[in-house]
């Protein structure tokens, strides 16, 4: 019903509902959500940060403008007396769906059989479903964010011989590089029965589940090279869910909070090209009107922000 309303009518209804509920409700807007969603949010940020805001809020109802795994995370972190509401159950993260707990459970049997004398610690990224998070915890592993993945790996290597990282192979690979373990990774493709090489798994320190983010995977090293040629003044900040070559070609790599902070800390006149979900780049443009954003037609999620200028040049 809400989808068919025009924006003014929808806004009026949301505001009326918020007024009626008062402090009983807190509305969270993830960085990746569209303007029409984050405009109604009490807090905008990454999923872990928002879940903590919800837990600190004195509200019985938490409306999460985000995807299913985010609402689940908020439900885990908030008090039992708080109800977390996801407005649309259709809003899901394809990467989280690439590592279903049942499928991981079956793979776990094969992976542990391939390295019987070794302790394998499973680590799952925040971008995964609650039952997979529970599985990792039960197996002596943990959950990490993109900001603390390297710390999580170090924690795991103090306790075991290998890490199984789920579901994002790019974040796993980028973290392995950061820790100097790039030569000791193996990929686990759960959809390819031929692709599971027990020797490779036995030799590797880090086993990467073959999942990925469909948005961040669209950025290529050629895009960065092309951008640097057209805009030699541009600095590049990308998310660690991007491919290894893209991360290597960037000036700064970090979570959505780091990307936001990097752009906010930029000096007037600096140009930053942002490699992440397009809505975050658009929010940064809107929240800081002294900056201009350039959206490249070739790579729809690629944005360059020139700080402190008011003229559009491309
Ligand atoms: O956990 C989050 O919010 C996501 C999806 C990414 C990030 O870097 O904040």
Domain boundaries, the chain: 2-92, 96-209, 216-306
- Asked whether residue 275 carries a pLDDT value surpassing 60, the answer given is yes
Cis previous bond, 198, omega within 30: no
Q: Whose CA is nearest to atom 1 of ligand 1?
A: 47
Handedness of CA 63, 67, 69, 70 (dihedral sign): negative
Predicted confidence band of residue 302 (pLDDT cuts 50, 70, 90): low
**Which pLDDT does position 231 carry in this prediction?**
87
- How far, in Å, is the centroid of ligand 1 from the Cα of 182? 23
Ligand 1 centroid to 307 CA: how many Å? 24
Confidence of residue 306 (pLDDT cuts 50, 70, 90): low
Residue 297: predicted pLDDT: 41
- Asked if residue 49 has its Cβ within 6 Å of ligand 1, the reply is no
Greater pLDDT, 304 or 130 = 130
216-306 has the same fold as 96-209: yes
Q: Is the pLDDT of residue 295 over 80?
A: no
Whether the pLDDT of residue 16 is over 60: the answer is yes
Q: What spacing in Å lies between the alpha carbon of 202 and ligand 1's midpoint?
A: 31
Nearest to 292 by CA among 275, 276, 50, 274: 274
What is the whole-number distance in angstroms between the Cα of residue 314 and the centre of ligand 1? 30
| CA geometry: angle 67, 1, 24, nearest 5 deg | 60
Q: What is the pLDDT of residues 47-97, one digit of tens each?
A: 999 999 999 998 999 999 999 999 999 999 999 999 999 999 999 999 999
61-72 in b/e burial notation, b at 16+ Cβ within 10 A? ebbbbbbbbbbb
- To 10 degrees, the CA torsion angle through 138, 240, 99, 166? -30
Is 2-92 a domain of CATH 1.10.10.10? no
Ligand 1 atom with minimal separation from the 147 CA: 8
Q: Is the pLDDT of residue 308 over 90?
A: no
Q: Is residue 195's pLDDT more than 80?
A: no
- pTM for this prediction: 0.91
In the block, tokens 């960085």 appear at: 31
**pLDDT at residue number 304:** 56
Structure-block tokens of residue 297: 């037609």
Q: Would you say the CB of residue 126 lies under 6 angstroms from ligand 1? A: yes
> Which ipTM was obtained for this model?
0.93
Decide if pLDDT at 279 tops 50: yes
**Predicted confidence band at 314 (pLDDT cuts at 50, 70, 90)?**
very low
Q: For the domain 96-209, what is the CATH code?
A: 3.40.50.10800
256 lines ligand 1 (CB under 6 A): yes
Residue 13 to residues 7, 181, 309: CA-CA distances in angstroms?
A: 10, 53, 37
- The Å distance, Cα 64 to ligand 1 centre, comes to 14
Q: How would you classify the pairing of strands 292-295 and 302-306? A: antiparallel
Distance of CA 82 to the CA centre of its chain: 25
Q: Is the pLDDT of residue 298 over 60?
A: no
- Taking the CA atoms of 91, 96, 97 and 98 in sequence, report the sign of the dihedral they define: positive
- Tell me if 51 CB under 6 Å of ligand 1: no
Provide the pLDDT confidence category of residue 212 given band limits of 50, 70 and 90: very high
Residue 256 C-alpha to ligand 1 middle, in angstroms? 6
> Higher pLDDT residue, 235 or 269?
235
162 Cα to the center of ligand 1, angstroms:
25
Distance (Å, rounded) from C-alpha 184 to C-alpha 291? 43
CB of 276 sitting under 6 A from ligand 1: no
Q: Is 146 in the pocket of ligand 1 (CB under 6 A)?
A: yes
Ligand 1 atom at minimum distance from 276 CA: 8
Q: Which CATH number fits domain 216-306: 3.30.70.890, 3.40.50.10800, 1.10.3720.10, 3.40.50.2300?
A: 3.40.50.10800
Residue 236 reports pLDDT greater than 50: yes
The pLDDT assigned to 307 comes to 56
pLDDT tens-place string over residues 147-178: 999 999 999 999 999 999 999 999 999 999 99
């Amino acid at each position: 019903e809400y989808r068919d309303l025009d924006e003014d009518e929808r806004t009026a209804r949301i505001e009326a509902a918020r007024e009626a509920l008062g402090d009983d409700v807190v509305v969270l807007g993830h960085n990746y959500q569209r303007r029409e969603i984050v405009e109604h949010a009490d807090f905008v940020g990454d999923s872990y940060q928002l879940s903590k805001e919800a837990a600190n809020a004195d509200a019985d109802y938490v409306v999460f403008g985000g995807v299913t795994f985010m609402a689940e995370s908020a439900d885990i972190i908030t008090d039992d007396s708080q109800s977390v509401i996801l407005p649309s159950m259709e809003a899901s993260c394809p990467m989280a769906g690439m590592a279903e707990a049942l499928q991981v459970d079956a793979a776990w049997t094969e992976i542990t059989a391939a390295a019987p004398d070794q302790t394998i610690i499973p680590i799952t990224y925040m971008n995964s479903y609650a039952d997979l998070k529970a599985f990792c915890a039960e197996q002596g592993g943990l959950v990490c964010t993109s900001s603390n993945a390297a710390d999580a790996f170090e924690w795991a290597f103090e306790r075991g011989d290998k890490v199984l990282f789920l579901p994002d192979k790019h974040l796993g690979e980028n973290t392995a590089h950061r820790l100097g373990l790039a030569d000791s990774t193996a990929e686990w493709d759960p959809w390819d029965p031929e692709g599971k090489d027990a020797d490779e798994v036995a030799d590797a320190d880090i086993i990467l589940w073959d999942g990925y983010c469909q948005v961040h995977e669209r950025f290529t090293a050629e895009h960065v090279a092309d951008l640097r040629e057209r805009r030699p003044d541009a600095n590049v900040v990308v998310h660690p869910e991007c491919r290894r070559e893209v991360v290597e070609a960037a000036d700064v790599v970090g979570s959505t909070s780091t990307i936001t902070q990097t752009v906010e800390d930029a000096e007037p006149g600096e140009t930053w090209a942002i490699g992440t979900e397009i809505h975050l780049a658009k929010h940064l443009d809107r929240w800081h009107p002294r900056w201009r954003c350039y959206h490249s037609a070739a790579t729809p999620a690629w944005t360059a922000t020139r700080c402190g200028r008011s003229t559009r040049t491309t």
